[in-house]
Amino acid sequence: MFRSLALPEYLATIDQVKCIRCKRCIQNCGWGVYSWGWDKVLINTSKCVKCLRCYHYCPEEAIEIRDNPTRYKQNACWGYNNIRNIKRQAETGGIPLTGMGSDLPYPILFDNLLIDACQVTNPSIDPLREPMELRTYLGKKPSQLEFERGADGKPRLKTRMPPQIKLSLPVMFSPMSFGSISLNAQKVLAQAAAACGTVMNTGEGGLHEDLFPYKSNIIVQVASGRFGVNPDYLNAGVAVEIKIGQGAKPGIGGHLPGEKIPLEVARAHMIPVGTDAISPAPQHDIYSIEDLRQLIYAIKETTGYKPVSVKIAAVHNVAAIASGIVRAGADIVYLDGFRGGTGAAPSIIRDHLGIPIEHAIAAVDDRLRQEGIRNEASIVAAGGIRSSADAAKAIALGADAVAIATAALITMGCTTCGKCYTGNCSWGITTQRPELTARLDPEVYAERLINLIHAWEHELKEILGALGINAIESLRGNRERLRGVGLDAQTLDILGVKPAGR
């Protein structure tokens, strides 16, 4: 048998003294690491991805998953991944794939930004005593309003307000298609979105009928493959999103192999069972901003003018692109930073293309203000939002709301092992294997996701209270309340943030 020369990443080990031979590890591992020998569990450690499912389900704590201590000779230039990828490519001639967001040590600017707090001159506000408002509306806003006085002397609106998406807090769920994740995972997102007053996003995979009850908490997506798109689909949610790009893989399309297209997925995608679902790199009817405008308005005509979001990967020229998108008629610009997650992407693309979300938010918000069109669209920021603090910083830089995916998956058990593209996720998230997806009970895990969102909600309120403001709109774009630590002058300038101490 051919044995790969790429070193295994992890060593799965079982303490044979503790092991009671219950075989749960065999049953739980989606990757086939464990098998039954005649009197003990056998381990094929080269298959281990350290998702830790077995560890959590071993009743005897007999399992330990170690990073493989055997490494290539220490070399500051030729790192472990460089050598390992070359060996894999030499063996297969292929493009190494990966899942999740980039794990390379690029600087994370959120970790170089600190939030202000009140002392003496402006009192802080206790969110347990005073109202603290996080409600956010996404959509186009007029630059000014006209009112008249009603018979009761109260103001009446004369201006026609464009449609808005109402969020109870400025946190929503990023697009993840049925196909890339399991239906149960989508149900978790939908139930949590409904319970928390926010929205989930179908991604490019159509809308399964089980999600119909959650329509008022769903954004439907139209991407380059146009899977599942028809007028009913477009009208199913509160808004439609046109996906141009994704932070983890800007400029490239997607490929869901036929083996991962069982009947249910095929129905939602509206393609035959077992055919490859290929999303081309560009949308073949969008080769310019004018074309985008036509699609935006075609969708608006079809939906009776629901808000249209345009999702792009954060790339070098993001500010100019976003300005074009807003002028093309989008109601929301969804920016996905390069650290954003993915179900499957070539690692070379994921790890080397795009720009961080922090720069992108700042550049886009600045540009839209310079052009006097910031009110024309909301900005949603995604791609590496790990905590409510990241969310607060993104909002202070200029985002209206943030979107999270990885954080939501972590509540379902994900350990960010990064092997989503294999379709073997032992947690039942990024797989369609029925024996694996059955583990993800939507009710049970929705509860956890709801807990997370509620926890972030409390934290955001505490942050606002410390800042002495009681409405999220006073944080939005309020870069005066951020300070940079350890950032160079030019980066501070791009972020529009002063260094700490100023």
Partner 1 sequence: MNHDYHKDISGCGLTGLISKKKRRVSGREIVKSLCLMTDRGNGLGAGYAAYGIYPEFKDCYALHVMYDDPEVRWSVEDHLKANYKVEKIEEIPTSPVKAIPISPLLMRYFVSPLKDKLAGETAADDFVVNTVMKVNSEIGGAYIFSSGKNMGAFKGVGNPSDIAEFFRIDEYEGWTWTAHTRFPTNTPGWWGGAHPFTLLDWSIVHNGEISSYGINKRYLEMYGYKLTLLTDTEAAAYMLDLLIRRHGLDISTACQALASPFWKAIDGMNEGERDALTALRQTYGSALLNGPFSILFGHGGGLVGINDRIKLRPLVAASKDDVVYMASEESAIRTICPSPDKVWAPRAAEPVIVEFE
- Radius of gyration over alpha carbons of the chain, in Å? 24
Please check whether residue 252 is in contact with residue 345, taking contact to mean a CB–CB distance below 8 angstroms: yes
Site membership for partner 1, residue 73 (CB under 8 A) = no
From the list ligand SF4, partner 1, none, which binds 123 (C-beta under 5 to 8 Å, kind-based)?
Answer: partner 1
CA dist 84 → 79, 248, 252, 467 (Å): 9, 21, 24, 48
Coil vs helix vs strand at 330: coil
For residue 456, what are its two tokens?
């972030």
From the list ligand SF4, partner 1, none, which binds 32 (C-beta under 5 to 8 Å, kind-based)?
Answer: none
Nearest to 400 by CA among 365, 435, 355: 365
**How far is Cα 173 from Cα 221, in angstroms, rounded to an integer?**
13
From the list ligand SF4, partner 1, none, which binds 462 (C-beta under 5 to 8 Å, kind-based)?
Answer: none
Identified binder of ligand SF4 from the candidate list 429, 460, 475, 497, rule CB under 6 A? 429
Give the number of other CB atoms < 10 A from CB of residue 447.
16
Strand segments (E) across 290-387: 308-313, 332-336, 345-346, 378-382
Min dist CB 159 to partner 1, Å, is 7
Site membership for ligand SF4, residue 9 (CB under 6 A) = no
From the list partner 1, ligand SF4, none, which binds 147 (C-beta under 5 to 8 Å, kind-based)?
Answer: partner 1
Site string for ligand SF4, 296-315 (x = CB under 6 A): --------------------
Site string for ligand SF4, 85-124 (x = CB under 6 A): --------------xx------------------------
Please check whether residue 357 is in contact with residue 381, taking contact to mean a CB–CB distance below 8 angstroms: yes
Min dist CB 307 to ligand SF4, Å, is 29
Q: What is the dihedral of CA 236, 239, 240, 242, to 10 degrees?
A: -160
Site membership for partner 1, residue 344 (CB under 8 A) = no
Residue whose CB is less far from partner 1, 354 or 398: 398
The HSE-up count of residue 347 (CA atoms within 13 Å, CB side) is 19
What is residue 474's DSSP assignment? G
Site string for partner 1, 349-368 (x = CB under 8 A): -----------------x--
Nearest to 340 by CA among 389, 302, 383, 372: 383
Report CA torsion sign: 284, 290, 293, 297. Answer: negative
Identified binder of ligand SF4 from the candidate list 418, 442, 465, 477, rule CB under 6 A? 418
**How far is Cα 10 from Cα 464, in angstroms, rounded to an integer?**
43
Residue whose CB is less far from partner 1, 252 or 363: 363
Min dist CB 182 to ligand SF4, Å, is 10
Residue whose CB is less far from partner 1, 268 or 467: 467
Site membership for ligand SF4, residue 449 (CB under 6 A) = no
From the list ligand SF4, partner 1, none, which binds 416 (C-beta under 5 to 8 Å, kind-based)?
Answer: ligand SF4
Identified binder of ligand SF4 from the candidate list 186, 201, 430, 432, rule CB under 6 A? 430
- The phi, psi pair for 292, rounded to 5°, reads -60, -45
Q: Which of residues 108-127 bind partner 1 (CB under 8 A)?
A: 118, 121-123, 125
Site membership for ligand SF4, residue 190 (CB under 6 A) = no
Residues whose CB is less than 8 angstroms from the CB of residue 202 and which lie 6 or more positions away in sequence, other chains included: 175, 177, 178, 186, 211, 218, 219, 220, 221, 228, 237
Site membership for partner 1, residue 488 (CB under 8 A) = no
**How far is Cα 45 from Cα 213, in angstroms, rounded to an integer?**
43
Residues that bind ligand SF4 (CB under 6 A): 14, 19-25, 41, 51, 58-60, 62-63, 99-100, 409, 414-420, 425, 427, 429-430
Residues near partner 1, by CB under 8 A: 118, 121-123, 125, 130-131, 133, 135, 137, 141-147, 150, 152, 154-157, 159, 161, 164, 366, 369-370, 372, 374-375, 467-471, 473-481, 492-493, 496-498, 502
